[in-house]
A and B are shown apart, each in its own frame.
Chain A
Amino acid sequence: MTVHEMKHAASDSARLEAVGGRLSRVDGPAKITGAAHYAFEQRLEGLTHAVLVGATIAAGKVTAIDTRAAETAPGVLAVLTPDTIMALKTASDWFGTPPPDRPYCPLAREVTFSGQHVAAVVAETFEQAVAAAALVKVWYDETPAIVDLSDGNAGDGIAIDAMTKEWGDAEAAFAEAPVRVCAAYNTPREFQVAMEPHGLIARWQGDQLTIWEPSQWLDGMARTYAEWFGIPFENVRLVSPYIGGGFGSKALALAHSAVAAAAARMLGRPVKLVLTRPQNFTSYGGRAATRQTVAIGADRQGKIQSIVHRGVNETAVDGMWVEPLGSVTSIMYATPNFSSKQNVVRVNTVVPGAKRAPGENPSAFGIECAIDELAYELGLDPLEIRLINYAERDPHAKKAWSTRQLREAFATGAEAFGWAKRSREPRSMRDGHQLVGWGVAAGTYPVRRAYGEAMVKLLSDGSAEVESSSIDMGQGTYTILAQTAAETLGVPVEKVSVKLGDSRLARAGVTGGSRLAGVMTGAVYKAAGQALDELIGLALSDPRSPFHGLQANTLVVKDGRIASPRGDGPELSVAELMGMLGCEKIEAKGDTVPASFTREQRYNNYTTIAMALPHTEGDYSRHSWCAHFVEVRVDEDFGTVRVSRVVSALDSGRLYNPKLAESQWKGGIIMGIGQALLEEGIVDRRHGRIVNGNLADYMLPTNADIPDIQTISVGIPDPHSSALGGKGVGELGIVGVAPAIANAVFHATGKRVRDLPITLEKLI
């Protein structure tokens, strides 16, 4: 094998196009001109439109559906009910667990949550389908529902033993500790609310199914469709060139997806089905509502002796979701005694799902508020208590951190924020009628790793192509993979095109848990290296090459030109060389999959999450880290809270593109501001229905709610976390924001609000 020089000098990161450069989004021009066609914007001959009818009860049976008026309405092609939709097979879950051998019906006979799909209308136009759907009449036999965690019939739920983490004797040590705090922290049902609604176009051509659907996981969703319809995996093609936001919500094929694909099969025509905005609040789960009790015992110097943590999250009647509430609790601070246990409680809701930093986000709200409470109990600065209890290694896994720049984050963030000027007493800072509060909290997210593959092609004109079925929902995949290929191949970035979002391309696992960048830069780096090896090998060995016979064992490619490293031979462009070699293209599919993997293991690697590598595998515990410093202003008379300043210092390891990473961090912080102050799914207790399932009543942060946000990278390359040294970016930013705001509100007002969101009625 040929050895070639890689350009990894530190100065390279100053170059825009190299890995680490601040290159603008390569998909940006398409997005700012309207040229970017998102998944369900494809134009297809004979396209029909489907609209869903949702249950108006939260629990019970559908006893009858009168479809006659809808069926005779103009343009209607079909009205589907549980009795008339084609039978599907149950698909495996995302771990790949073999499914039970029973039929799957995406339209419900037994209703377990309000809004559950019970019928669908397909018509020639969208307007006709909407009008006809309103004519479908449904009768129910309604039974009492458990509306949420506070329902009197909810009970204590089911213990999830796998969530138990214990060492030492936490309860005894807490009882004996001289200083103790104990409080309950609640987070409500929250929603992802991607601006692009869920939806799809399904088209059958014989036994070949093409799905245009926004997707965080093409291969996983293709597997589900294949299993539903009993067709080979290869017969399903998922296309998702741009995704209008996912935040965890777009990784699975859902009931509405099955309805559209079944309708297309039954009608023999392509079907487009897009959920209405209210249906986006009931057709898939947001973050489960959670409750935690955090008890911390410490000595008089502030050293933690024990943490006792109990958590509960809601799940569905017919589906399981565990939001791991002890994930941050168990690693943030050093403690000799620890106990965390968790239950889940079934309520009549759609099964909750992943929303940005599932687990870590509510977990951090509990522990990062509790540590602030402990600081006040002890008369310590909230920053000081965090340093007193700094975990020098993973207290749970008992392993060294791969990298943990949290101390640097505290120091850098505090300096930039001006923390030293903070007066400790609550209600001690004000500006006119505004009470000013400063709060701090830390956040973390594990480095989720997986094996990946990529195709890299060097073309005869000197350009390069990268292909992957991974996706870009705004994190910047197109851009960082172009940068990785450009740097590795030595060609200008504008000569690299990246193709994503088509399941026919090189396989990819789920885009979630902040793993994609690390997985895919590693795969592209490897594939591009192989392509370059092949080019250099040909250049040295092919008699047609001007380098043939040169006494060199390698060549250097830079700026699209190839030369001997000593500069003693010819220098020409890659295109000229490939022309001389008569070489149309060089293709290299590179992967990071163990060579021992069988075909089935490779399939499972991309279509399930069962093959992911634990973040504590081997000698290290791998996480990204951050510290948020927040200023709030609370109107003394009205209790309104405004976030007026945020400084966050974050350790995501090496950044592949700081410009895009900063955007993602800020996005997480802004979603955290929404979580802290605005967002809450409100359930009507009579009907078990989300009553604010729209973008005006489920309040999101608007531009007018958001101040300037300063983010500072304190990361260093982490060789244990990824091939190029990066750790997770996308989830990290939100973790710790809500507790930092709650702590700032306490500092401003002297009032602890332990139930999110922090709305004015909780302050006055």
Chain B
Amino acid sequence: MTSQHIIDPPEDGHFRNGGNNQPSPTTLSIDLTINGETHSLDIEPRVTLLDALRERLALTGTKKGCDQGQCGACTVHVDGERVLACLTLAAQVEGRSITTIEGLADADGTLHAVQAAFLEQDAFQCGYCTPGQIMSAVACIREGHAGSDEDIREYMAGNLCRCGAYPHIVAAVRQAARELRS
């Protein structure tokens, strides 16, 4: 499935970079397909998808809230399913289709129904959890978990929002689900 090669660690267990710019044994060369575009990266195996997006590819729409899989701010889609980018190594998702918040709207800038509903319902305040909420909401609807407010609350519960936009998030997901069905 992927072209990555597995590297055994050095005998002392510590990877070290060489003093030159040549790719060291600790570096993987991988291609990531993000929002339909291929990005080539030379990264250490321990780099998470989240840090690859934010620190290497300037795709900072995906947010780091906790870096330990507890808040949902880093939610992206891998092959259409929601995953936490902070708990995913970049090397794990080579060859798979990654969608981030930057790739959700149409190429002409037309907002996805979920994005438009978030704006209309004021489903965010500070905006920091919002990309993760929106990516979760798109998947939540696609999974068929947006049939009732109760379902929406439950299946959106993995995305924390400290500003407390929850009732408006439910309203936005309900609205977008209805629009996407029709």
* Bound-state Cα–Cα, A163 to B124, Å: 37
Contact B168 A663 (CB under 8 A): yes
* Bound-state Cα–Cα, A643 to B23, Å: 56
Stretch at the interface among A36-44, A371-379, A539-547: A36-44
Q: What B residues does A140 contact at CB under 8 A? A: none
Q: What A residues does B59 contact at CB under 8 A? A: 34
Q: Within the complex, what minimum Cβ distance (angstroms) separates B41 from chain A? A: 12
Stretch at the interface among A493-501, A697-705, A720-728: A697-705
Q: What A residues does B167 contact at CB under 8 A? A: 666, 706-709
Q: Within the complex, what minimum Cβ distance (angstroms) separates A443 from chain B? A: 15
Interface string of B108-126 (1 = CB under 8 A from A): 0001000100111010111
* Bound-state Cα–Cα, A29 to B131, Å: 11
* Bound-state Cα–Cα, A30 to B169, Å: 17
B54 within 8 A of A: yes
Q: Known contacts A34-B59, A197-B64; decide if A247 and B15 are in contact (CB<8 Å).
A: no
Q: Within the complex, what minimum Cβ distance (angstroms) separates B157 from chain A? A: 4
Q: What A residues does B128 contact at CB under 8 A? A: 38, 194-196, 242, 244-245
A1 within 8 A of B: no
Q: Within the complex, what minimum Cβ distance (angstroms) separates A347 from chain B? A: 26
Q: What A residues does B79 contact at CB under 8 A? A: none
B179 within 8 A of A: no
A118 within 8 A of B: no
Query: Across the two chains, which residue of chain B brings its CB closest to A37?
Result: B60
Contact B127 A277 (CB under 8 A): no
Contact A670 B166 (CB under 8 A): yes
B47 within 8 A of A: yes
Contact B119 A34 (CB under 8 A): no
Q: Known contacts A194-B126, A695-B70; decide if A34 and B170 are in contact (CB<8 Å).
A: no
B75 within 8 A of A: no
B154 within 8 A of A: yes
Q: What A residues does B6 contact at CB under 8 A? A: none
Q: Known contacts A126-B51, A660-B122; decide if A34 and B62 are in contact (CB<8 Å).
A: yes
Q: Within the complex, what minimum Cβ distance (angstroms) separates B64 from chain A? A: 7
Q: Within the complex, what minimum Cβ distance (angstroms) separates B11 from chain A? A: 16
* Bound-state Cα–Cα, A474 to B62, Å: 18
Q: What B residues does A703 contact at CB under 8 A? A: 152-154, 156-157, 159, 161, 166, 169-170
Contact A474 B125 (CB under 8 A): yes
* Bound-state Cα–Cα, A244 to B160, Å: 13
Query: Across the two chains, which residue of chain A brings its CB closest to B168?
Result: A663
Q: What B residues does A663 contact at CB under 8 A? A: 122, 125, 163, 165, 168
Number of interface residues of A (CB under 8 A): 65
Among candidates B66, B101, B153, residue contacting A33 with C-beta atoms closer than 8 Å: B101
Among candidates A25, A277, A664, residue contacting B65 with C-beta atoms closer than 8 Å: A277
Query: Across the two chains, which residue of chain A brings its CB closest to B26?
Result: A74
Q: Within the complex, what minimum Cβ distance (angstroms) separates B138 from chain A? A: 12
Contact A24 B122 (CB under 8 A): yes
A659 within 8 A of B: yes
Q: Within the complex, what minimum Cβ distance (angstroms) separates A530 from chain B? A: 31
- In B22-73, the 8 Å CB interface with A consists of 26, 44, 46-47, 51, 54-55, 58-68, 70-71, 73
Contact A32 B119 (CB under 8 A): yes
Q: Within the complex, what minimum Cβ distance (angstroms) separates B47 from chain A? A: 6
B180 within 8 A of A: no
* Bound-state Cα–Cα, A28 to B153, Å: 23
Q: Known contacts A666-B167, A671-B164; decide if A694 and B126 are in contact (CB<8 Å).
A: no
* Bound-state Cα–Cα, A664 to B165, Å: 9
Among candidates A25, A74, A244, A704, residue contacting B157 with C-beta atoms closer than 8 Å: A704
Among candidates B71, B120, B130, B159, residue contacting A24 with C-beta atoms closer than 8 Å: B120
Contact A33 B15 (CB under 8 A): no
Contact A33 B115 (CB under 8 A): yes
* Bound-state Cα–Cα, A671 to B134, Å: 21
- In A672-707, the 8 Å CB interface with B consists of 694-696, 700-707
Q: What A residues does B104 contact at CB under 8 A? A: 33
* Bound-state Cα–Cα, A273 to B164, Å: 27
Q: For B14, B66, B128, B168, which residue has the most chain A Cβ atoms within 10 angstroms? A: B128
- In B120-159, the 8 Å CB interface with A consists of 120, 122, 124-131, 134, 152-154, 156-159
Q: What A residues does B134 contact at CB under 8 A? A: 32
Q: Within the complex, what minimum Cβ distance (angstroms) separates B149 from chain A? A: 8
Q: Within the complex, what minimum Cβ distance (angstroms) separates B173 from chain A? A: 9
Q: What B residues does A125 contact at CB under 8 A? A: 44, 55
* Bound-state Cα–Cα, A705 to B159, Å: 12
Among candidates A27, A35, A244, residue contacting B63 with C-beta atoms closer than 8 Å: A244
A286 within 8 A of B: no
Contact A34 B60 (CB under 8 A): yes
Query: Across the two chains, which residue of chain B brings its CB closest to A47?
Result: B55
- In A58-81, the 8 Å CB interface with B consists of 73-75
Q: Within the complex, what minimum Cβ distance (angstroms) separates B37 from chain A? A: 15
A276 within 8 A of B: yes
* Bound-state Cα–Cα, A36 to B61, Å: 7
Among candidates A34, A192, A668, residue contacting B61 with C-beta atoms closer than 8 Å: A34
* Bound-state Cα–Cα, A25 to B162, Å: 18
Q: What B residues does A24 contact at CB under 8 A? A: 119-120, 122
Contact B161 A195 (CB under 8 A): yes
Contact A700 B160 (CB under 8 A): yes
Contact B111 A32 (CB under 8 A): yes
Q: For A31, A192, A702, A707, which residue has the most chain B Cβ atoms within 10 angstroms? A: A31
Q: Within the complex, what minimum Cβ distance (angstroms) separates B110 from chain A? A: 11
B178 within 8 A of A: no
Contact A244 B164 (CB under 8 A): no
A127 within 8 A of B: yes
Q: Within the complex, what minimum Cβ distance (angstroms) separates B24 from chain A? A: 9
Contact A276 B126 (CB under 8 A): no
Contact B122 A27 (CB under 8 A): no
A193 within 8 A of B: yes
Contact B67 A276 (CB under 8 A): yes
* Bound-state Cα–Cα, A31 to B100, Å: 13
* Bound-state Cα–Cα, A29 to B170, Å: 19
Contact A245 B130 (CB under 8 A): no
Query: Across the two chains, which residue of chain A brings its CB closest to B100?
Result: A34
Query: Across the two chains, which residue of chain B brings its CB closest to A27?
Result: B127
Contact B163 A245 (CB under 8 A): yes
Contact B160 A195 (CB under 8 A): yes
Q: What B residues does A34 contact at CB under 8 A? A: 59-62, 100-102, 131
* Bound-state Cα–Cα, A467 to B111, Å: 28
Contact A242 B67 (CB under 8 A): no
* Bound-state Cα–Cα, A315 to B101, Å: 42
* Bound-state Cα–Cα, A744 to B84, Å: 38
* Bound-state Cα–Cα, A73 to B14, Å: 9
Q: What A residues does B170 contact at CB under 8 A? A: 703
Q: What A residues does B122 contact at CB under 8 A? A: 24-25, 659-660, 662-663
* Bound-state Cα–Cα, A709 to B164, Å: 11
Contact A695 B71 (CB under 8 A): yes
A243 within 8 A of B: yes
User: B-contacting residues of A (Cβ < 8 Å)?
Assistant: 24-25, 27-38, 41, 43, 73-75, 125-127, 131, 192-197, 242-245, 247, 274, 276-277, 473-476, 659-660, 662-664, 666-671, 694-696, 700-709
What are 29 A-B contacts defined by CB distance under 8 Å? A31-B124, A31-B130, A32-B101, A32-B119, A32-B131, A32-B134, A33-B104, A34-B60, A34-B102, A35-B102, A74-B15, A127-B51, A192-B162, A195-B128, A195-B129, A195-B160, A196-B65, A196-B128, A659-B122, A667-B164, A700-B160, A701-B166, A702-B160, A703-B169, A703-B170, A704-B154, A706-B153, A706-B167, A709-B167
User: A-contacting residues of B (Cβ < 8 Å)?
Assistant: 14-17, 26, 44, 46-47, 51, 54-55, 58-68, 70-71, 73, 100-102, 104-105, 111, 115, 118-120, 122, 124-131, 134, 152-154, 156-170
A274-B64, A704-B156 provided; 12 other pairs, C-beta below 8 A?
A24-B122, A29-B119, A32-B115, A32-B119, A38-B60, A38-B63, A127-B47, A244-B126, A663-B122, A667-B163, A695-B66, A700-B160
Query: Which 9 residue pairs spanning A and B have beta carbons closest together?
Result: A34-B61, A244-B128, A474-B125, A670-B164, A31-B127, A667-B164, A474-B126, A34-B101, A695-B70
